[in-house]
Structure 1
């Protein structure tokens, strides 16, 4: 092969490096001589030899684009510090250090500064680990997605990894594939390609093989398919002319890398909440400082500012929030990974949880996608299974011929075994007889006198096959009766129009014989939707030859069609005709130089695709969850409705009332806005015989009515709707175009997995709500002591180190355990939440900062008071006493006739701080039971159901016992052992927390729509 041109990646004018679009076939054949291109019959080209391909691969390297720069672990770690929460805490950290410099005798301020910095680094490490784990979950699924393409080498069509493509390879493309390299077309049959990744034009373009003048732009020649473009329909063969960085997309790749991703809705909501916390903490801190300044007559201003800001910042910032939120998302991703659900972005699970319509493709999603030809019909003859001797008439042979030749499926294994006995019908064509006889050679027992074909002795091994399930079913059916390999060899296809969802038929033309005067005899074979194919026919094949297609024959067809369709069968019709044309004619669908009317109807095949075992139960769960399921299929409405009944999607009610409807695709565009309003209220809809445009319209009409729609699909025709839907869900076995357009990929192609994803999405939102409800409640009792101290001059209630022990120690395990909380029993029995419903609602803030927060603060204050009551100190006497007392170098304090020295005051104050510290932690111990459910009683949900929560509670309880009673540790953080009455006071309030939660949830369950009750629902 001559050395191919290499495009410079620095050359911005890409048309200067490509001239192949101006080459004719002769020059292509000459230039790529090792590709063994047949100029007369390109489909018979041999392609590169294996040694040549290996040599070129070693010479030029793999066909791989440089991957966009992935963030390194170090960069990911540094990113964790770019958080407003940490910025606020770093400010507090700096103020703590300044406070120490102002009074170096206060070592606690230095220790506090050090610990805050250590805490920030530690929490960033935890967040880094969780986010890294989440990214690995996504990456592990990406490795499961195959990246292969079909090429012709050594005269055989084989699959190779896209990275092993080389210049000169003959690349085969068809509808649904992504082009793996830049390639010049030499065969194109109804080829439409979408090149938005290159040109930005999303409308599919017709591609052809003819050379264009040299002044025509590369992108306007439409004979070179580019790496990364998507084949929408048709098929073709192209010789690879550029690979890797020499392709067009390789040259412009640098222009598209490094772009920032848009933030998800979940990220935006969390960022909004963090901003709220920063503003709130700063406002409270400055307010407390100003009031405290007046109360303390502006003594020790720096200490007032630093301590006030420090406590408010630490107390109001949930230090473990970033790590625990990431933990919840990662847990969900792992659970879905175990169920073979791949999320391209982890936060899409939150969107799935809010969807209220699932528009599902039928084949392979609701059904098993294991298709079998169960019956064939011709001229009022219903033939179940394989034909018997009397059924092997001329129409039957013609049907087998169309099944085998007009078929895009291919076998991957040619093994076959017998015995098989067949009688050849006298009317069968010579090639058909030859094919059947040839099949019987070798290991097949031939009985020339036999007059029967017995299905019981027909033994043909199930061979591997590639292609659409319905075509594979027909290929296998025909292969049991004829030698397809020989039949395909002896019937040279000169023109083909592949099946697409708009035409709903597949046609090819065979040149049968050359005739005098430059003419030739052609045979046209067509298969497709039976009701469409029969409309193209004027005649019908019978045992006695071709007869006119009368109303009587049409009536027989419709009766059989309705019978099989009502039993959920897919009906594929067959027709053919013979005609004479020029020997060198180039057939063209747009010109219409071949017949598509006055055909002869042969018969139809009935194909069964049974529903998946889990489908009916999954649909039932969707209904209970308030999710409507729409079936969107290309099947006839009779077949689609029958399947809908079989899977429980639609039901007939007594009295004839219907809460469902079947709509034919051609009706979709004619529906008025009022029609759509009515249809959306239905419990189920079946859309039959739909086109890509109609699927897209269905999605758009649902979205106009504020519906959150998840659209499933596996074919190229599903891609536009998958892109437009709120959640696009592609099948793992689907086309590359569909997977490229989707947000979620089901590796097991199972509709039930979508229901699992919805459950996990709802659970994630629930657990995030619970986490925020649990963590934010302690902000109030942590900040309240500084307000009491600054504004009312009472002894300090908690130290900054104790707050750090809470936020960095005892509070983390329960927060992480919340990510493992099982779903409440009603999670799939309540309607979907509106997508506009925010994560941090006003009702949640009211819960945290008003009634629940106040209740927990009351428990802390009671424990605080118990310490002073233990020394017979009147609480009223504490008012303004901390201005001059309760500190190093302070004054004596007297209450109820007893005077307390400075040392006694400091010890009692440390006990009071420990009591408040214990009040928060022990209060959260009880509060965890109240927040583990949002609607269901914790006693029916299971008090000890979550083993992670049980372990977290033990850690929390042991932790506070150490901080309160362990000598040295309690002194270091500013505490001292406390009396038992403190525990009793907090336990009582803890039970009140559980009680208020149970009462609140009871009314939420009993009166969910009551306006007053909704004020307490978060």
Structure 2
């Protein structure tokens, strides 16, 4: 059985018991989402309008407008649903593809890595700390500590040994074991739970803020609609009857006439509500995220939680690991050094001293959490253990492991009890200062000798540390439980090259006004050398301390040194949690990187937890964002995308609320200046589609600009609409409304357009003016620069959407007919309308120049 399944047995098992995929409770289908949109405020209002028009079937019934409302309801629902459903589906598919979990399985007498979906009944799985258990089964050998919180909510770890049952989705916290898979997929306990329960994702904070903003604006729209209804009825019933009680009574008792007044009043209120309620605002989050998802994945950023990418742009302080993040994470053993200072740079060099070679290889290969796969490539375990196996090429010793304690950050060593050539040996390896302090002997030519003078060994450690080389000491111990009276075997020098991109990433993070603190398990000399090399230690005030020194300081003392703190050497996982808590108490937005089991608490506590792609599943589960290539430059891009997403939403808000303000203003003012319906319900539906769905798509593809990384982080409590935005919305919205009033009431404008029933050509042009002013203002909204075309080529979707709107609008103006109340314009009429709409650009240009002169130019 220990040889694992053959390929033929795998296929038979899959046919008989099924695969290991989980069929979770069905997500909301497109049809269900479409039906659900009928509950949206806009659709409800339109349905009410449709019902009213149907009731008045024989009272001057307008077939065109009624059919138009039916079409509008369908289009508004369909396009909104299609956009949101498509975005959500694309986002979830990309997430699932990028976050597949791998596990180690024995097949065809070889150990290999596969995704958990490929696991079948009968597979033998190798488990170690940080692994997520891929299926239900039982332990064949070994001992592990498992966290089963995913199944039962209990955070207390459970010990599992031979014959114990283990379950899918639970996590190994410590130890090593092999398990036999007995149930897969929906037959597992986790699978059955997933069938019954559809996890409802919590609404992200930014989406909640957008929902509240939309609700607030909607209330203003409802109040405006109510005022218009009351004002219109008061005007028709009271003012037009010169306040004569008898005439007022006659009007009220004339039911057909009153029905007509009420219908007209409700039509006006519907028009205002349709444009005032920004129902597309909350959907903007999904649009922006889905449009950026592929770009983020290309930059090796996997967003697990919406909250993470929303908050990433606001980080003030970042606590980062060194290995694999700042360094390449491709560790190489560059030398083995014995007690006398003799250096062996390769396995071939070691083989020249056969006795010493056997001691070294047994010590480092047997006391190791990694394994060789079928191609003799190291898999599993941590990167240090994999580097050691890479140095030795193979494991051809015959030894039996009796007991094992994996490396822990607290103890800073691992120990394994083995039997080799009928002898029981306790092999220990770890931090040099820990191992060396317990050494009383050393080996020379296979014999133990008293270790009287440790200076030669300490000198070797110091020289390596000063060059940024990591040092590992290894020895034998007389006892297993409490290692003591160690016999020193040697030192392993391990080199991890600095990532060139990490230096660039650190520079970008620094420019973004984010403080970076590096936490490393290296000793203080190695840490200092690396800190200087990457530019983290520049000034004499820059502080580097050890974990022990940190523990001796009170919380108040740590807060005091935090501004100058750059590096913590010999750091422990609990240091991370403490630092997160203290930084947050100073109202800082905290980012934290991690890859190990013990990093999970700090990743959860941080405002944004960044797990490394090569890290444990525990760390990934606890994180908000996974950096797939473990690269600090990629992490800096996550910050950039966080800022870009927030800015894209703000640009959209400026655009939408400017159109809202103009539309509501003109709809309220219209009846009082002799224009009862400046914009019809059908026209307003097209306007609504332009400013919600289409504009949302256009702004969601705004580029991530490097200049965003030179700005200070936003305060986490900063309102979603700032003063700059309010000023722009009020200024441009008011100007647009005044331009509309001027267009409708100016004798000069009237003289340009041909006469026709109900000013048909003037009102056609007015519909065009309104849309084109909104389109041209979208260029103002997307940048605070004077050059409106800045970076426009980087958002081709924006240009495509604008061109599409222009084409459709021109078509509607010439072929909309009675449905859209449009009857075509001659060239001069069209040119005048376009020129007046274009004025929104120079007017906003003057506003920007004025702000620059006052030194108040801000932006989103």
User: Normalised by the size of structure 2, how large is the TM-score?
Assistant: 0.87
Question: Contact between 1:376 and 1:384, CA under 8 Å: does it hold in 2?
Answer: yes
Deviations 1:662-709 (A, max 9, x none): 332334444322223224323x63233233333222323333333222
Distance in 1, Cα, partners of 2:370 & 2:845:
64
Shift of residue 555 of structure 1?
2.8
Aligned: 1:623 with 2:510: yes
**1:371 alignment partner in structure 2:** 331
**1:674 alignment partner in structure 2:** 556
**CA gap 1:320/1:119 in 2 versus in 1, 3 angstroms:** farther
Look up the SS of the partner of 1:172 in the other structure.
Answer: strand
Question: Contact between 2:440 and 2:485, CA under 8 Å: does it hold in 1?
Answer: yes
Q: How does 1:838-987 map to 2 (within 5 A)?
A: 838-841=719-722, 844-845=725-726, 847-848=728-729, 850-867=730-747, 870-871=750-751, 906-907=757-758, 909-934=759-784, 936-938=785-787, 941-942=790-791, 946-964=795-813, 966=814, 969=817, 972-973=820-821, 977=825, 978=829, 983-987=834-838
**CA gap 1:67/1:674 in 2 versus in 1, 3 angstroms:** same
**1:511 alignment partner in structure 2:** 419
Shift of residue 160 of structure 1?
5.7
**2:428 alignment partner in structure 1:** 526
Question: Contact between 1:192 and 1:205, CA under 8 Å: does it hold in 2?
Answer: yes
Q: How does 1:394-543 map to 2 (within 5 A)?
A: 398-413=359-374, 463=377, 466-479=380-393, 485-486=395-396, 488-489=397-398, 491-512=399-420, 521-542=423-444
Distance in 1, Cα, partners of 2:285 & 2:417:
61
Distance in 1, Cα, partners of 2:819 & 2:149:
68
Q: 1:357 aligns with which of 317, 332, 337?
A: 317
Aligned: 1:745 with 2:626: yes
Deviations 1:379-413 (A, max 9, x none): 35152623759984865653343223322332225
**2:32 alignment partner in structure 1:** 75
Aligned: 1:289 with 2:171: no
Distance in 2, Cα, partners of 1:115 & 1:61:
47
Aligned: 1:777 with 2:625: no
Look up the SS of the partner of 2:327 in the other structure.
Answer: coil
Q: How does 1:609-688 map to 2 (within 5 A)?
A: 609-651=496-538, 653=539, 656-658=540-542, 661-682=543-564, 685-688=566-569
Shift of residue 826 of structure 1?
2.2
Structure 2: which 5+ residue stretches go unaligned? 239-257
Shift of residue 547 of structure 1?
3.7
Question: Contact between 2:319 and 2:591, CA under 8 Å: does it hold in 1?
Answer: yes
**CA gap 1:208/1:814 in 2 versus in 1, 3 angstroms:** closer
Q: How does 1:49-198 map to 2 (within 5 A)?
A: 58-63=15-20, 65-95=22-52, 97=54, 101=57, 103-107=59-63, 109-124=65-80, 127-152=81-106, 157-159=111-113, 162=116, 170-189=124-143, 191-198=144-151
Question: Contact between 2:315 and 2:514, CA under 8 Å: does it hold in 1?
Answer: yes
Shift of residue 913 of structure 1?
2.7
Shift of residue 503 of structure 1?
1.8
Q: How does 1:212-291 map to 2 (within 5 A)?
A: 223-240=164-181, 243-244=184-185, 247-250=188-191, 252-253=193-194, 257-291=197-231
Question: Contact between 1:165 and 1:243, CA under 8 Å: does it hold in 2?
Answer: yes
Distance in 2, Cα, partners of 1:780 & 1:258:
40
Question: Contact between 2:326 and 2:632, CA under 8 Å: does it hold in 1?
Answer: yes
Distance in 2, Cα, partners of 1:250 & 1:505:
38
- The number of residues matched between the two structures is 836
Structure 1: which 5+ residue stretches go unaligned? 1-34, 36-44, 212-222, 416-462, 515-520, 580-586, 874-902
Distance in 1, Cα, partners of 2:265 & 2:685:
19
Distance in 2, Cα, partners of 1:154 & 1:742:
36
**CA gap 1:82/1:641 in 2 versus in 1, 3 angstroms:** farther
**CA gap 1:568/1:236 in 2 versus in 1, 3 angstroms:** same
**CA gap 1:365/1:185 in 2 versus in 1, 3 angstroms:** same
**1:337 alignment partner in structure 2:** 297
Question: Contact between 2:405 and 2:416, CA under 8 Å: does it hold in 1?
Answer: yes
Distance in 1, Cα, partners of 2:752 & 2:351:
110
**CA gap 1:921/1:792 in 2 versus in 1, 3 angstroms:** closer
Aligned: 1:702 with 2:583: yes
- Structure 1 window deviating more from structure 2 (266-275 vs 160-169): it is 160-169
Aligned: 1:833 with 2:714: yes
Look up the SS of the partner of 1:408 in the other structure.
Answer: coil
Deviations 1:59-102 (A, max 9, x none): 4444555433333333343344443343344444444555x537
Deviations 1:533-564 (A, max 9, x none): 111211233469544333xx333333322221
Distance in 2, Cα, partners of 1:228 & 1:776:
46
Distance in 2, Cα, partners of 1:781 & 1:666:
63
**CA gap 1:984/1:837 in 2 versus in 1, 3 angstroms:** same
Shift of residue 993 of structure 1?
2.1
Distance in 2, Cα, partners of 1:816 & 1:63:
37
**2:247 alignment partner in structure 1:** none
Deviations 1:5-25 (A, max 9, x none): xxxxxxxxxxxxxxxxxxxxx
Deviations 1:172-209 (A, max 9, x none): 311111123344435334x3211112332213344444
**1:41 alignment partner in structure 2:** none
**CA gap 1:84/1:678 in 2 versus in 1, 3 angstroms:** farther
Q: Which has the larger radius of gyration?
A: 1
**CA gap 1:123/1:47 in 2 versus in 1, 3 angstroms:** closer
Distance in 2, Cα, partners of 1:246 & 1:810:
48
**CA gap 1:280/1:842 in 2 versus in 1, 3 angstroms:** farther
